[in-house]
Each structure stands twice: as structure tokens, then as C-alpha cells.
Amino acid sequence: MNVNNTSTPFDSFNARNLSPRQVSETFIPPVQFSSLYKRAHSLLIGPRGSGKTTLLKMLHPSALDNWNHELACEIRKSIDYTGIFVASDVTWGAQIGALGYGQISELSKNLLSVSAFSTNVFLSFIDSIESRLSNDTNHFKKVKLTKDQEGIFVLEFSSALKLPISIPSILSLKVALRKRLSDIFEIASKATFKAKEDRDNYISSHDFLHLHFLSVLGLGIELFDNLIDENDEKWALLFDELEIAPDIIVKELLKSLRSVNQKLLFKLSLSPYNKNIDELDDVFSAMSGQDYSSIPLWFPNKNESYRFSKELCISLIEKRIGQKVSIENMFGNSDFNYLDDEYTDENHSFSLMSQYGMNTDVDSYKKGSRIHKRFKELYLGDVSFKEYIDKKNIDLDNIEELSDTQNAQYIRKITPIVQARIFFRKSSNEKATSRSRKSRLIYTGAKSLLAVCEGNPRWLIGMMDSLLKQMSSAGTVNRIHQSNEIYKTTSRFEALLRTIPVNLGEQNKINGLLGLLELLGKYFYQDIVINSFSPSPNGSFTINQSTPKNVIDALGKALNAGAIIHIPEGKEIVIHELVGKRFRLSYMLCTNYKLPLVTLASKSLTTILESTNLYKKQSLVDNQLRIDLGN
């Protein structure tokens, strides 16, 4: 993952605005990178900030060439293809969507948007060629073209592109392709001045709009490889944010994952939820592992994210202070117990916990231990908890006498709930969503910090970047700083969620996407912290059949933003149907709603929604688009 110390925050944590070369300067390979760089088609799936762009950019020849890491040499040797990184972003998507200003037919709009997309692919191809021709450090896939060869390439390729070129140079080709993007915009714009019935003819009369990007690209690749005498070489198309591309392209590329192309590999990045891509079912019904590899970049279970986060964190610290240190020494221990009982069997989870340095020692519960004191405190202050303990005949002063199974079932499982009740019931006069920085103290300590970040490198890098600046001379970061940083990161994340446009229906009083998530958070807080003690309170939700479409759409956006986490039953990675699926709030948001960092029992979503007065049941009917008055 990318670790950059520049002072502009949006640049620091986001590979989107860095060149492949800049990305490589601080790249630390996560475990998924070894699957991605294999000579095979890949589908990279993850929410915002999960590192998709970074990973794809690292396969660009200039990134690999410049990369300086202990594994770099070995990985460079095993990559025998040239990556073509095809960028995309929200603005570009909106621009393509607006071609023709809504005044041309779908057919014409498709023609124009596919052409814009294709032109971007051709520009990216030229960019990769330039990298291979440049004189960089590690000579990764470097080649030379004579002036004559360059001329032949440019003339032939521009002819295939139907692109007039004044000087047969790569620079001139690049300039002409950039001009073509302007031409596409102009054709769309001019069409709107023509009579409605003439617009389609006018647009389709431009020959270059009918080029098929894969066949033209194939031609260019063949030509280049021929000139450098590397006819058996492969090229990898690295498509970032594929969902932003025109539908027709998305469908073609997803089908390509099942193809055997002599020259091309496809490595595509997608968000976890894609409701419009029916082809995904076909793709996933393909024999995974043979046709393509699917690479998830998120972790429903924190045991899985812990290893990656810890490695990244240690690397960040090492980069900053020049030596490896224990993150526990730097950030201290965490209050929460970290067992995801549900998703790993007892033995496996214990072995994982030990492996990752988590505390599995039964002594932690011995009389006088911190956890024992918490249990006792709650026992004395919370009648419902006392009833639970008494009913189970548990002697809190002799927990170590319980069998392993009893301990797991009655004690370890409820420890995070006990911690949350102790900590938050003391301040129960505060609202569930009070924005006090102090309320985040319970989430401090190494393991909690890593859990809160969910293995999301953007969050982790952002937080560590700031925390390491506040490190004391003894090499520690105090809990107030940690708590502040969690608060700030959550605030930024909330600001984003507040900005994602959703329409939850006029009759509802739910205030946007964040309002919906807040409603869930408050419900779980009530059940976990305020209501009578239950060893299995509700802390996750299942989207049921009767959930309104607009709520489902909003939650799809929440999933792609990393605000909710899918808890898969099987091995699903990408989903285009949310109904029947189970989710939890991201741990980052849990810190806002005073929830323990653990996966808890599930409740049907409509039951949760209907329990509040913000939600009106009649919103089952799809809502009409509301008229915007936005001053």
C-alpha cells in the first residue's frame, strides 16, 4: 500500500492523484498483490479506500521500474507483461454521462461515450509505451525504438485510429488523441444545435466513433511488439473503477475475463455492490481460479484484517522512525476483546489470535485482572447483567475454573458487550451519537486502532501519518491523541457519507445516507448498551424482501463507501442483489455510535426501520424524484 508523507492530505492517502512512479515510492505489498500480479485475469474488489487504485497502478511499468522494496526484484522478474493503467473518476464518469446534454438518443450517447472511453484506453496505452521507452532506473521491460520504427508505429497506429497526424512521433500521437477527446465533446455539443431527427445521422457520420477499442488496441500492441521483436509478449489492461465505464464496455470486459486472449490480460477493479451488472453472475459462475482470480480487498472478520493492518502499520512506523517497533508498545493495549466467535471455529480463532499476538490467556479473566474487575463492576451496577450471571451460576471470582467451552460461551463472547456497557452506561446521559472525543478513548490501543480501520489502507495511513507526528520521545502516542485521531477520521468519513446523494423518500424523516446509518447505530446502541443485558444483542442487520428499493439503493452506496460491511454466508465477493444479505456497520462508524467492535446478532432491516418514528412504511412505493430547490 502507499505510504506518502506529502502535506496535502488528499494526495497523501489517495493514489488517484499520484503517478504510478510516485505510488511505487512508498508501496508496501499487501498479501493480495501476489494474486494480482500473476499472469492471469483478475477482478479486484473493494470499497473506497481499500487500495484498488494503488494495486493497479503498481503494475504500470514505470511503477515497477521505480519500486524499491525487498520483494521488488523478485516480483519484477515474475511479471512478463506490460500494464496499461486506465484511470477513471467520479468527474470523468459525470462528464461522459452528460455528453449530448440529454438531447441525443441513447444510441448516439453510447457511441460517443464508448469512443471517449476508448480514446482514454489508447492514451493509456501510449503512456505505457512511453514508460518502456524511457531511461529509468531498473531497466524493467525497457526497449528502444529507432526514429524510423517510431514513425512506422505512429503512422500505422494512427491510421487504425482514423486519426490525422502531422508529425510521425509518439508525442504527436498523444496530442492528437487528447484533441480527439475534445472533438468527441464538440460533436456531442454541435449535435444538439441540429434538428432532432438529424442528430443521430450527424453523430454516426464520424467514422472514428465506430472503432472497436479492443481490436484497435490489439492492432497497436501487435505492431509495437513486432517492431521491438517481442511477439510473444502479453499486455495487461488495468481498469480502475470499472463501474464508471459505459455499460457496454463493462459487459464486454467482464466477458473478457472468461476469454483466452493471446495478447491481453484483464485486471479490473470494482466496488462490492453493482446492481446493474447482470453479467457478474455469469462471470462468477465461471470456474474461479482457472479463468480469473477474484481478489477481495476487505475483511468481514477482523482476525483476517489484523495481520495486514499490523504489517502495514509496522512498515509505516519503520519508514517514519527508521526502526521496527511493537505497535502495542507505541499505542498500548486495547480494552476490547477481539474474538469474532461467529466466523471461526473456536480452535481456529484461538490459533489465529495467538498467531497475531492477541491475548487468549485465560489468566486475563482471573480475579483481580482488568477484565475481572469490569465484570464485577457491571455485576454490581447492572441488575440485568447480575441476573444473567446468577442464572448461569457463574462465579466471577473463579472464572478460570470454567471449562474452555463454558468460558468461550459465557464469558469471552460477552466481554466486548460488558466493556461497552461499563464504559458507555456511565455516560448514558450522553446521546448515542454525541460527538465527544472522550467517548473514543475506549477504542484506543493498538488492536482497537487496527480494528477500527478495517484493513482499509487509506484510513490506516491517514491515521498513522497524523499519530506518528504526535509520538513522544519515549516512542509512545498517548490515548488522547489516539482518541482525537479516531474522532477526526470518523468526522471526515461522516462528511463523505453526508455528501453521497441518496433519495430516501419524501415521507421519511431520515436525513440522507448518514441519517440511515445513524438510525441503525442508535438501534444497536439501545440493544447492546441500554436495554436489559442480553448475551446476544442485535448488532447487524439483514436486508429483507420488504425493504424499499430506495433504502436498498442507499445501502448499496454505503457498502461501496465502506460504511457497512457485508458478512458473507459463502464466498460471495461481488453482489448485485442486497436482499437476503447480512451486514454490519463499519467499525469506524461504531466508534460514533458507541458500539463494541464485534459482529453481533442480526435483525431484519425493516423491523429496525419500523421501530423508529423517522420511517414511514408507505415508502415501500418507489419515490418520485423530488423537486430540487437547493438554494
Partner 1 sequence: MINNIIVSDRKFDQDKIDILITACGYEQRCTEIAKEYNNIALNKLSFQYSSRNLLNYDVNLKWYISNGFTLICFEKDNSYHAIIENVCNKIDSDQVISIMVDYSSMCRNLIANLISILNKASIHRNLDVHFVYTPAEYYEPNDIQTEILISEPVIPLFSGKLMPPNMPTVALLGLGYEAERALGLMEYLEPGAIRTFFPTGADSRFDDKVKELNLDFFEFIGEKELQSYDVNKPFQLFKQLESVCYGVLQWGRPIFIPLGPKPFTICSLIVSCLFDYEPVVWRVSGGQNSLPIDRVRNGDFVWLSVRFNRQIDY
Chain contacts with partner 1 (rule: CB under 8 A)? 7-11, 14, 16-17, 85, 87-92, 94-98, 100-102, 116, 120, 123-124, 127, 178, 181-182, 184-185, 189, 488, 491-504, 506, 509-515, 626-631
Closest contact distance (angstroms) between CB of 340 and partner 1 is 29
CB of 95 or CB of 364, closer to partner 1: 95
Whole-number Å distance between alpha carbons of 575 and 567: 12
Whole-number Å distance between alpha carbons of 73 and 83: 17
Whole-number Å distance between alpha carbons of 359 and 193: 70
Dihedral sign (CA 573, 577, 580, 583): positive
Whole-number Å distance between alpha carbons of 344 and 339: 9
Whole-Å CA distances, 109 to 90, 98, 456, 573, 615: 18, 9, 36, 32, 38
- Tally of CB atoms within 10 A around 481: 18
H/E stretch holding 566 reads strand 564-566
CB of 87 or CB of 268, closer to partner 1: 87
Tell me the three state secondary structure of residue 81: strand
CB of 422 or CB of 452, closer to partner 1: 452
Whole-number Å distance between alpha carbons of 20 and 128: 11
CB of 270 or CB of 417, closer to partner 1: 270
CB of 241 or CB of 382, closer to partner 1: 241
CB of 180 or CB of 412, closer to partner 1: 180
Closest contact distance (angstroms) between CB of 559 and partner 1 is 16
Whole-number Å distance between alpha carbons of 478 and 485: 11
Closest contact distance (angstroms) between CB of 512 and partner 1 is 3
CB of 16 or CB of 386, closer to partner 1: 16
CB of 85 or CB of 284, closer to partner 1: 85
Whole-number Å distance between alpha carbons of 312 and 298: 15
Paired residues of 596 in beta bridges: none
Closest contact distance (angstroms) between CB of 452 and partner 1 is 17
CB of 44 or CB of 121, closer to partner 1: 121
Closest contact distance (angstroms) between CB of 95 and partner 1 is 5
Closest contact distance (angstroms) between CB of 625 and partner 1 is 8
CB of 169 or CB of 503, closer to partner 1: 503
* Strand order through the sheet with 81-86: 81-86, 234-239, 264-270, 41-45, 292-296
φ, ψ of residue 294 in degrees (nearest 5): -100, 135
Closest contact distance (angstroms) between CB of 374 and partner 1 is 33
Whole-number Å distance between alpha carbons of 417 and 341: 13
Unique residue bearing C-alpha cell 450471571: 389
Whole-number Å distance between alpha carbons of 330 and 570: 37
Closest contact distance (angstroms) between CB of 13 and partner 1 is 10
CB of 339 or CB of 564, closer to partner 1: 564
| Nearest alpha carbon to residue 585 among 490, 462, 473 | 490
Whole-number Å distance between alpha carbons of 199 and 205: 10
Whole-number Å distance between alpha carbons of 434 and 427: 10
Helix axes 446-453, 479-499, angle to 10 degrees: 10
CB of 351 or CB of 499, closer to partner 1: 499
CB of 72 or CB of 84, closer to partner 1: 84
Paired residues of 293 in beta bridges: 42
Closest contact distance (angstroms) between CB of 504 and partner 1 is 7
CB of 370 or CB of 498, closer to partner 1: 498
Cell numbers placing 269: 477493479
Alpha helices by DSSP H, listed for 13-162, are 20-25, 32-36, 52-57, 61-66, 72-78, 90-97, 106-133, 147-160
Whole-number Å distance between alpha carbons of 24 and 53: 12
Closest contact distance (angstroms) between CB of 410 and partner 1 is 43
Closest contact distance (angstroms) between CB of 538 and partner 1 is 25
DSSP state, residue 2: B
Q: Are 185 and 209 in contact (CB under 8 A)?
A: no
Q: Are 327 and 313 in contact (CB under 8 A)?
A: yes
Closest contact distance (angstroms) between CB of 85 and partner 1 is 8
CB of 10 or CB of 571, closer to partner 1: 10
φ, ψ of residue 338 in degrees (nearest 5): -115, 70
Closest contact distance (angstroms) between CB of 564 and partner 1 is 17
Closest contact distance (angstroms) between CB of 127 and partner 1 is 7
Closest contact distance (angstroms) between CB of 626 and partner 1 is 5
CB of 71 or CB of 94, closer to partner 1: 94
Closest contact distance (angstroms) between CB of 284 and partner 1 is 28
Whole-number Å distance between alpha carbons of 110 and 204: 11
Whole-number Å distance between alpha carbons of 350 and 366: 18
Dihedral sign (CA 136, 41, 159, 164): negative
Tell me the three state secondary structure of residue 537: coil
* Burial class (CB within 10 angstroms; exposed 0-12, middle 13-18, buried 19+) of 380: exposed
